[in-house]
A and B are shown apart, each in its own frame.
Chain A
Amino acid sequence: LSDSLALLCSHGLGRLLGVWLLETLQVRLSSSVVPEFWSGLRQPENELEERDRAGVLLAAFRTLLDRLEPFLGLEKLGLWQEAGRGGLNGPGPRALQDRAFTTIRALLLFSPPAVLQERVLEFYSRTFSVYMNREGGEDGSEAPEGPDGAACPGCAVPAPRCWCQEALEQLQDLSLIRARLQLLEWVSSEAVTSILHRLIEQRMEQHCRGEYERSFLLEFQEQWLELVLGWLGKVFASEGDGDAAETAPSAPGVHGSKPGGSVLKQWRCHMHQFFCRIYVNMRIEELFSIIRFPESKPAIEDLKFCLERTNQRQQLLSSLKSAFESRLLHPDMADSRRINSHIREEESKQSEEEQPPLALSAIILSSEFWPTLKEEKLELPAVVCQAMEAYTRRYEKLKAMRTLSWKPHLGSVTLDVELEDRTLTNLTVSPIQAAIILHFQEKTREDTVRQIVAGLTGDAEACNDLASELSRGDPVTLEMQDSDDEGNDPEDWTPDPTDAVPKLGSKRRSSDIISLLVSIYGSKDIFIDEYRGVLAERLLHQLNYNTAEIRNVELLKLRFGESHMHYCEVMLKVHTSDILTVYISAIKALRELDPSMVILQVACQPIRKYLSWTLEELSVKLGAPKELVHRKLAVWQQHGVLREEAAGRYSVLETGSSREKVDRGVMLIDSDEERDSNTTTQSEQREEKLQLFWAYIQAMLTNLDSMTLERIHSMLRLFVATGPVVTEMDINELDAFLQRKVREHQLIVSTGIYRLP
């Protein structure tokens, strides 16, 4: 080969020479060198000893170098010659050399089998750990000096067989060979990168995780980086050296004066970047626990620094958000707010129909630690009870083996009250107040419909006005009448012009009480059904047939329409058929004649009557004492929502802005809440405590028959020393208490000695 080269050279065919050289190289590489290299590498497949594998790797590379050495030498020759010719041939010597190496790389690593990566990785990690051990050993912390037989921490084999030194030498060799072939970066960078990444991750895991009170940035930069760079230096510096040795004679300055240095710098950058990224990743994971502000400041500073470099802010935010969501709503953290939001979240996952009817949240108390809360009975509206039950169920699911008991009278309710002519928004009231007002809203008060029907049919003494209202006729006639001129003959009525301002509408609506009632209850069917029931009862119980019923049916027919009253009509017809028509015509005539049936109050008094409650009724309904209800009612009176009428009835003041002020002045006197504390008073607590003592005293006297005051006192101090309620008890106080018991005949005292009766 050398000869032919010389020959060619002598012919001055420098240009051809380059081409030929590359061709030969290619052929030789693909035919023998590459397969040999790979087989050399694969051959010891079944050998398990890592040390040997490392040796094989080295050997393979050595052979590779041997095989290619001539080319490299020759190349040099050619380069020299070409350089000597003053770079006549365009591309120049460097380009040729580059091409040669490119060819080698291309052929060799065209399809690098995994085994090479594996080997290289293994080898590097081994040497790395050896190196780290050596360097790190200086601190003495990482190299535990065990008794003989302990494994060498570097190479993980029993100490006597340690091959750390050997490995390091091998590393040196390998680096040199690769550098010679300019393969170093290609073969090893991947391995080196993964090793370093692993290292940083490990380190981070060991040192930084859970440790927020120290800044690791500096430490990292100063210690680890230096350490790692030392190793990297060993790996790559040889390249630098080799390169320098190689390039120095040929083309000084082309490669730069310190190639190794630049490579290291690059790596340093890379490492730094990588550190930041890993650091941020780790901190993001544990961000939630970092939030402990003053102590964790260093960690946060570090994080800030790294974030600036890694562009992971978005990731951080989303992670923190989900951390908050999962951690704060974690069932293990007993706090009503969290439980509330957890339950709210659960609820929101449900479909529309399953949604609870009420937005209920709760303050959940731990029973032993709160002062004794006043127990007051209060029947809450069904809807609230249901919501509470649902809440309890969810709570029980959330917290196994625990349950909730509600204090219905405690808490607060935010609500709006919408009245005919005004709306009170965002009132915050106590549950009992809310319950009161809800009762006034309750349309389904069982007996109201019956009452209304009774009123309509003229049975209830108090509400003849409804009956007369009914007898006024159908809604259409009614509307005609009440425009402005009430007493006028319907015949004179002329319709409003089509463009009339519809402001009269509301007045009209409110004037037609029955329509209003129907609209309140949503359907006239309720009334019709109720009337059917009433009618059936009456017809079955009254042997005397009452013609009033016919009248009622007829009137209701006018009101609700013939078809709706059909059933009732049939029911009546079963009894009589002939007199019916006679009466009906008579009644019709009568109605037209009697003006008193037509002229009626326009105000909606009757409705209020049926939507009103007495204090007693409310108190029963709410299961709360009357005084309390009365006290709480005052708020609604102040707001002008409710009004006290005669006979202690309360009703809704639909349109009352004008009167409101007057009422308010009165009501303010009744303003309550003055002693509305929810915890038991001190005297009550005292009483409770004394009751506890009494139990002890009774037990003592049962056992010991009789005791003096001093004895009782000292015994009590001995036994009743713990517990949240019990405080020091004065002997005078005890004396007074015992005297009281004596007066109540629960205790007998004679000559200073107490005994049970």
Chain B
Amino acid sequence: MKVKIWQWSGVASWSWVANDDNCGICRMPFNGCCPDCKVPGDDCPLVWGQCSHCFHMHCILKWLNSQQVQQQCPMCRQEWKFKE
């Protein structure tokens, strides 16, 4: 007997490689999206700071825009710098 596989259609689910489950700002899951978005993934990406905390991009931008004086990470209060 010989079995020839033409096509194997698998199923996989994606998830962010983050060190936490939820966004520290909106408390929504990282694998979901921020409250303003509808579609997770490319539409609502995560960003990492140099302090290694990560947030939904939209959340941290909102936070940074609301900070008048200094741009700090909302988790550790270090100066917020985007990690490349």
Q: Residues of A with Cβ closer than 8 Å to B?
A: 331-334, 358-370, 373, 384, 387-388, 391-392, 395, 399, 401-408, 410-420, 426, 431, 434, 437-438, 440-441, 611, 641, 652, 654
Taking chain B's interface residues, is the majority helix, strand, or loop, or is none over half, making it mixed?
strand
Closest beta carbon of chain A to B61's beta carbon, Å: 17
Task: Compute how far the CA of A221 lies from the CA of B6 in the bound complex, rounded to whole angstroms.
Answer: 57
The reply to whether B12 and A363 contact each other, CB–CB distance below 8 Å, is: yes
Task: Compute how far the CA of A361 lies from the CA of B6 in the bound complex, rounded to whole angstroms.
Answer: 11
From A437, which residue of chain B is reached at the shortest CB distance?
A: B3
Task: Compute how far the CA of A405 lies from the CA of B17 in the bound complex, rounded to whole angstroms.
Answer: 11
Hey, which chain A residues are within 8 Å of B31, CB to CB?
A: 366-368
**What are some 14 contacts across the A-B interface (CB < 8 A)?**
A334-B39, A359-B6, A361-B9, A363-B12, A368-B32, A399-B41, A414-B5, A415-B4, A415-B5, A417-B1, A417-B3, A420-B1, A440-B1, A441-B2
Residue-wise interface mask of B (42-73) relative to A, using a CB-CB cutoff of 8 A (1 in contact, 0 not): 11001010000000000000000000000000
Task: Compute how far the CA of A431 lies from the CA of B11 in the bound complex, rounded to whole angstroms.
Answer: 10
The reply to whether A407 and B12 contact each other, CB–CB distance below 8 Å, is: yes
Hey, which chain A residues are within 8 Å of B9, CB to CB?
A: 360-363, 411-414
Hey, which chain B residues are within 8 Å of A408, CB to CB?
A: 10
Residue-wise interface mask of B (1-26) relative to A, using a CB-CB cutoff of 8 A (1 in contact, 0 not): 11111111111111111100000000
The reply to whether A384 and B14 contact each other, CB–CB distance below 8 Å, is: no
The reply to whether B11 and A365 contact each other, CB–CB distance below 8 Å, is: yes
Select A406's contact among B11, B29, B43, B46, beta carbons within 8 Å.
B11
The reply to whether B1 and A654 contact each other, CB–CB distance below 8 Å, is: yes
Hey, which chain A residues are within 8 Å of B48, CB to CB?
A: 401
Task: Compute how far the CA of A329 lies from the CA of B5 in the bound complex, rounded to whole angstroms.
Answer: 26
Hey, which chain B residues are within 8 Å of A361, CB to CB?
A: 7-10
Closest beta carbon of chain B to A503's beta carbon, Å: 22
Query: 4 other contacts beyond A410-B10, A440-B1, with CB at 8 A cut-off?
Result: A331-B42, A373-B11, A392-B12, A404-B14
Closest beta carbon of chain A to B46's beta carbon, Å: 7
From A415, which residue of chain B is reached at the shortest CB distance?
A: B5
Task: Compute how far the CA of A411 lies from the CA of B29 in the bound complex, rounded to whole angstroms.
Answer: 26
Query: What 6 A-B pairs have minimum CB-CB distances, sorted nearest first?
Result: A410-B11, A368-B32, A334-B41, A418-B2, A365-B13, A404-B12
Hey, which chain A residues are within 8 Å of B10, CB to CB?
A: 360-363, 384, 388, 391, 406-408, 410-411, 431
The reply to whether B42 and A426 contact each other, CB–CB distance below 8 Å, is: no
The reply to whether A399 and B32 contact each other, CB–CB distance below 8 Å, is: no
Hey, which chain B residues are within 8 Å of A426, CB to CB?
A: 6
Select B4's contact among A366, A416, A641, beta carbons within 8 Å.
A416
Closest beta carbon of chain A to B43's beta carbon, Å: 7
Question: B74 at the A/B interface (Cβ < 8 Å)?
Answer: no
Closest beta carbon of chain B to A701's beta carbon, Å: 24
From A395, which residue of chain B is reached at the shortest CB distance?
A: B14
The reply to whether A405 and B15 contact each other, CB–CB distance below 8 Å, is: yes
The reply to whether A403 and B17 contact each other, CB–CB distance below 8 Å, is: yes
Hey, which chain A residues are within 8 Å of B15, CB to CB?
A: 367, 402-405
Closest beta carbon of chain B to A56's beta carbon, Å: 56
Task: Compute how far the CA of A418 lies from the CA of B2 in the bound complex, rounded to whole angstroms.
Answer: 5
Task: Compute how far the CA of A657 lies from the CA of B31 in the bound complex, rounded to whole angstroms.
Answer: 52
The reply to whether B11 and A407 contact each other, CB–CB distance below 8 Å, is: yes
From B6, which residue of chain A is reached at the shortest CB distance?
A: A414
The reply to whether B42 and A419 contact each other, CB–CB distance below 8 Å, is: no
Task: Compute how far the CA of A286 lies from the CA of B43 in the bound complex, rounded to whole angstroms.
Answer: 22
Hey, which chain A residues are within 8 Å of B12, CB to CB?
A: 362-365, 388, 391-392, 404-407
Closest beta carbon of chain B to A607's beta carbon, Å: 11
Hey, which chain B residues are within 8 Å of A431, CB to CB?
A: 8, 10
The reply to whether B5 and A364 contact each other, CB–CB distance below 8 Å, is: no
The reply to whether A367 and B13 contact each other, CB–CB distance below 8 Å, is: yes
Select B40's contact among A333, A358, A368, beta carbons within 8 Å.
A368
Closest beta carbon of chain A to B66's beta carbon, Å: 23
Closest beta carbon of chain B to A473's beta carbon, Å: 28
From A384, which residue of chain B is reached at the shortest CB distance?
A: B8
Task: Compute how far the CA of A654 lies from the CA of B3 in the bound complex, rounded to whole angstroms.
Answer: 12
The reply to whether A366 and B2 contact each other, CB–CB distance below 8 Å, is: no
Task: Compute how far the CA of A431 lies from the CA of B12 in the bound complex, rounded to whole angstroms.
Answer: 13
Task: Compute how far the CA of A237 lies from the CA of B63 in the bound complex, rounded to whole angstroms.
Answer: 65
Select A434's contact among B8, B13, B16, B46, beta carbons within 8 Å.
B8
Task: Compute how far the CA of A427 lies from the CA of B24 in the bound complex, rounded to whole angstroms.
Answer: 48
Hey, which chain A residues are within 8 Å of B13, CB to CB?
A: 364-367, 370, 373, 404-405, 407
Task: Compute how far the CA of A360 lies from the CA of B11 in the bound complex, rounded to whole angstroms.
Answer: 10
The reply to whether A366 and B14 contact each other, CB–CB distance below 8 Å, is: yes
Task: Compute how far the CA of A641 lies from the CA of B2 in the bound complex, rounded to whole angstroms.
Answer: 11
Task: Compute how far the CA of A333 lies from the CA of B2 in the bound complex, rounded to whole angstroms.
Answer: 39
CB-CB under 8 A for A358 and B14, given A332-B42, A369-B32, A369-B40: no
Hey, which chain A residues are within 8 Å of B46, CB to CB?
A: 401
Task: Compute how far the CA of A392 lies from the CA of B12 in the bound complex, rounded to whole angstroms.
Answer: 9
